[in-house]
Chains A and B, each alone.
Chain A
Amino acid sequence: MARVHLPSGLTRHTGGVETVDVDAARVPDLIAALRDLFPQIADRLEEMAVAIDGEIYADPGYQPLRADSEVHLVPRIAGG
C-alpha cells in the first residue's frame, strides 16, 4: 500500500488525517481513492503536484506506484 502524506492545509478537511495508506497501482487510482475517502478535497487534488519516492511530478499522469511508495501531495511551483 502506498503511504500518502497530505499537505497540512488540507488536513482540516480530512478530520485531521495527515497520512493514509492507499492500495493503488498508478497515480489516477490513488487520486480516485483519495477522492472517495475525502470528497471535500476532491477539487484541490487536481491542483497538486505529486512526489513519488522523492521525485516530484508537476503533472503525474499515469505514473506507476510501488507497493511501498511514499507519496506526497505538494503545491505546484512556477519557475522563471
Chain B
Amino acid sequence: MTAPRDFKYVGTRPIRHDGVDKVTGRASYGADAAWPGMLHGFVLRSPHAHARIVSIDTGAAEAVPGVHAVITGKDLPETTATIALGEAAIDLRDIGDNVLAKTKTLYHGHAVAAVAATTIDIAREAAAAIEVVYDVLEPVTGIDRALGAGAPILHPALVTKGAAGPDAGGPTNIASRMELKRGDVDAGFAEADLVVEREFRTPMVHQGYIEPHACIARCGEDGRAVVWCTTQGPFVVRDACAAIVGLDPANVKVVPSEIGGGFGGKIVVYLEPLALALARKARRPVKIVMGRDDVFRATGPTSGSKVRVKLGAKRDGTIVAASASLWYEAGAYAGSPVGAGAMCMLAAYKVPNFFIEAYDVVVNKPKVAAYRAPGSPIAAFAVESVVDEIARELKIDPIELRLMNANAEGDRAPYGPKYGPIGLAQILEAARAHPHWRAPLGANQGRGFAVGFWFNAGMNSSATVTLNSDGSAAVVTGNPDIGGTRAAQAMMAAEELGIPVERVRSNVGDTDGSGFTDVTGGSRVCYATGMAVIRAAEDAREQLRARAATIWNVSKDAVGWENGRAIPPAGTEKASPMTVAELTAKMTQTGGPIVGRASLYAPMAGPAFGAHICDLEVDPETGRSRIVRYTAFQDVGKAVHPSYVEGQMQGGVAQGIGWALNEEYIYSADGVMENAGFLDYRMPVASDLPMIETVIVEVANPLHPYGVRGVGEVPIVPPLAAVANAMRDATGIRFTELPLSPPRVLEAIEAAAAVPVEA
C-alpha cells in the first residue's frame, strides 16, 4: 500500500540526462551507425495491393556489379513460433511473411525482395532489375468490401476465432470476434427515455514518428550476429530476428539506438531480419534505412474502423443501456486492437445493461501495429460523441452528465474486475472547476468535452544500480528512452539512495548488457521498470548499510538510514553518520563493488482516465478549422518528472488532434496508397496548435511504491471526440466520420445550408 511520503527528487524537474546530446546532434539514432565494410540494402516492394507471386527472377540483379546479396521469401525459413510481444503473443509466421512475402503480396508496398550492394544507388538499380511476375487479384480495400458478398479472400485458411456455429467457418476475412455483456440490454433500452444511435467511421492513420525505421546488422562466420536499430523493444527484435532468419537467439545481440518516436509502431520488426539475412549471405554488414513513403506504405499504422453505438438514458441523465458493434481493420494479417476498443469504450461509465461485439477484419492494407492506447481512441470517438448528443438532448452539462454516470473505486469495469482507486471523478471535477470550462467563446467557435481510458501495462522489467567509488551511481535498464525515462529512473534511484539526481547516470543497455525487459510501450516504463530501479536502488542501499556495519563492527540490523546517510547505533564510540560517497570510498576494503539489482513481473499498472476540453474555430467559407484552446486533465498516479508527464499529455493531444482534423490514409480503388508523404498526409505541426494546457491529477496507484500509474497513452484517447464535439458545437452538425478536413466540413455546412450557430 502506498504511504504518503515526502519526496526530495520525485516531483521536481531536473534537466533530462540525455538532453544535451539530443539538442546538439551527438545522440546516435538508427540511421547514424556506419560499420567498416558496410553494404547498403534496398527493399523491392509490391506495386499491387493483392497479388499472387508467380515467379521472382533475381539473376539480372545478382549480375549487377557491386551487388553482394539478393534475397526473396525463399531465403527465410517458415516458422510457426510465437513470441511474447508486449502484452500479447504474436505469430511469427505472419510477421515473417510481412517482412518478405512468400506466396502472395497483401498490400501495396509489401516487400518481395531485398538487395545489398556497395552503394544505395547500385542496390536500387539492381532491385529494379528483379523480375517479379504477379497474378493480380482484386483488393479488399475496406471493411464493407471485406464483409460483402463475394469478397476476395486474403487468407483461404482463415476462420473466425471466437465465433460459434456457422459464423466460425471459412473462407472469411473476419479473423476474430469477441463480445462483452452485462445485464439485460433489451430491458435497459425499454427503461430509457432517450435512445441515441449513430454509426462512426475513422480512416487508417499512422503514428507519424519523425525518425524512419533504420538498422545495420552483421553476421559473422561463427553465426554470431549484432543488430543496431531504432526500436521500442530490443529483446523483441532479438527473438523475432532469430526466429525469422533462422538463428539461435543466444547468438544475436541487439543494440538499441536512440529513438525518434515510436508510439507503438517500433515494436514490430520490418527491416532488421532483412538486413540480417542479407548480411549473413554477403558476409558483410548491411545497413537499411526506410524512406518516408515506405514508412507509410509498409509499416504498421492503426486501424480504419466502423463503429455503431447505441446508448439509452433516463430523463435525469442516468445511462441505463448500451449496445455497440465494432469492426476494425487489421490490415493484411489478423490482429487489430478491436478487443481493446471494446473493453475501453464504456470504462468510464456505470452502465447496468450492455452488449458489445467486436470484429477483427483483414484487408489489403499494411498490417496494423500498436498506436498509443491501441483501439481506445476509435471507440471513444464513437461513445463520447453519443454521450455528447445525450447531454444536448437532455440539456445537462456534459461534465455533470459524465459525473452522474462515472465509475468509481469498487465499481466493476466493463471487462469484469472491480476498479481499485481511480481518478475519474477527480479529473471531471478539476475540469468543471477550471476557468477554461466557463470561458466565453468567440464567433464561429465551439467547445467540446470528452473523456478517455487506458489500462496501462506492467510486465517484465530489470534494472541494475552500480555505485561508483565517488558516491555516484549508474542505472542500466533495457528500455529505450522515448519519453524521458532516463531522467525519471535517475530520479527514482536518487530518491532511494539519497544522492543528487545529477550524480546518477542513466543508461539504456543492449540485450547482452541488461536483464530481460519488455518493450518501451503500454505506458509501462516509469511504472514497471521504475519499480525495478527503485528495488535495485534499495538493494544497493542495503549493501551500503552492511558496509557501514562492517566499518563500525556492529550488526547490519543496528544500522539506520536517513537522508542518504548510514546512521550508527546509539552509543557506538567514535562512529558518526556516513554518506554514500564516504561508504563507496571504502568499497574495496569492505567487500568489493556494490551493484544493486532487481527483476520483476508487474501486474497491469492500474486504469487511468483523462478528460479534455477543446475550443475550435471554423471558417464557414472554407471549412478549415483551428484549435484555439485545449486543456487536458489526467490522473497520472504520481508525476515523477512533471515536465515529461506534461510533455506526454501534450504529445498525445497533438496526435489526437491530427487524427481528428486531417490525417487519413487515402487509397485508390485498386488499393494504392496515394498520400505516402508528409506533404499530403497532413500532421499538425507546432504552428497549427495552441499551447496545450495540462492539469495533472494524482490519485496514487497502490501497486507502485510512489503511486505511479503510467501516462503516455491516455492523452490520445479523448481528442477525437473532444474535437468532433467542439465541431458540433460550432456548426450544429454532428460529424460521424473522420477526419474533419476542410472539404468534409465545408460540404456538410453547405449541405445543411447552415451557418455556425451558437449552442
- Cβ of A9 under 8 Å from chain B: yes
Interface residues of A, count at CB 8 A: 28
- Cβ of B106 under 8 Å from chain A: no
- Cβ of B88 under 8 Å from chain A: yes
Contact pick for A72, options B416, B455, B459, CB 8 Å: B416
- Cβ of B180 under 8 Å from chain A: yes
Contact pick for B88, options A13, A73, A78, CB 8 Å: A78
Chain B contacts of A76 at CB under 8 A? 87-89
Chain B contacts of A57 at CB under 8 A? 458, 601, 603-604
Contact A79 B601 (CB under 8 A): no
Contact pick for A58, options B178, B179, B459, CB 8 Å: B459
Per-position 1/0 for B502-526, Cβ under 8 A of A: 0000000000000000000111100
- Cβ of A70 under 8 Å from chain B: yes
Contact B88 A54 (CB under 8 A): no
Considering the complex, give the chain A residue whose CB is closest to the CB of B603: A55
- Cβ of B281 under 8 Å from chain A: no
Contact pick for A75, options B207, B343, B417, B601, CB 8 Å: B343
| Chain A interface main SS type | mixed
Q: How far is the CB of A48 from chain B (nearest CB, A)?
A: 11
Q: How far is the CA of A76 from the CA of B638 in the complex (A)?
A: 26
- Cβ of B247 under 8 Å from chain A: no
Q: How far is the CA of A45 from the CA of B264 in the complex (A)?
A: 26
Interface size class of B (residues with CB under 8 A): 35 or more
Known contacts A56-B603, A80-B374; A75 and B416 CB within 8 A of each other: no
Chain A contacts of B601 at CB under 8 A? 57, 59, 61
- Cβ of B418 under 8 Å from chain A: yes
Contact A78 B86 (CB under 8 A): yes
Contact B181 A8 (CB under 8 A): yes
Considering the complex, give the chain A residue whose CB is closest to the CB of B336: A78
Contact B416 A49 (CB under 8 A): no
Chain A contacts of B371 at CB under 8 A? 80
Contact B180 A7 (CB under 8 A): yes
Per-position 1/0 for A58-80, Cβ under 8 A of B: 11010000000010111111111
- Cβ of A5 under 8 Å from chain B: yes
Per-position 1/0 for B728-745, Cβ under 8 A of A: 000000000000000000
Q: How far is the CA of A79 from the CA of B604 in the complex (A)?
A: 11
Chain B contacts of A12 at CB under 8 A? 164
Chain A contacts of B89 at CB under 8 A? 47, 76
Chain A contacts of B337 at CB under 8 A? 78
- Cβ of A25 under 8 Å from chain B: no
- Cβ of B177 under 8 Å from chain A: yes
Contact B457 A77 (CB under 8 A): yes
- Cβ of A51 under 8 Å from chain B: yes
Contact B179 A8 (CB under 8 A): yes
Near A by CB (< 8 A), chain B positions 154-178 give 162, 164, 177-178
Considering the complex, give the chain A residue whose CB is closest to the CB of B263: A80
Q: How far is the CB of A37 from chain B (nearest CB, A)?
A: 19
Contact pick for B179, options A9, A49, A70, A80, CB 8 Å: A9
Q: How far is the CB of A57 from chain B (nearest CB, A)?
A: 5
- Cβ of B394 under 8 Å from chain A: no
Chain B contacts of A74 at CB under 8 A? 343, 415-417
- Cβ of B703 under 8 Å from chain A: yes
Chain B contacts of A55 at CB under 8 A? 417, 420, 603-604, 703
Contact B87 A78 (CB under 8 A): yes
- Cβ of B194 under 8 Å from chain A: no
- A sample of 4 more A-B contacts (CB under 8 A), given A54-B418, A54-B419, A75-B340, is A57-B458, A58-B87, A59-B84, A72-B415
Interfacial residues, chain B to chain A (CB-CB below 8 A)? 84-89, 162, 164, 177-181, 207, 263-265, 267, 337, 339-340, 343, 369-374, 415-420, 454-459, 521-524, 601, 603-604, 703, 713
- Sample 7 A-B pairs with CB under 8 A, ordered by A number: A58-B459, A61-B601, A73-B416, A75-B339, A77-B457, A80-B370, A80-B371
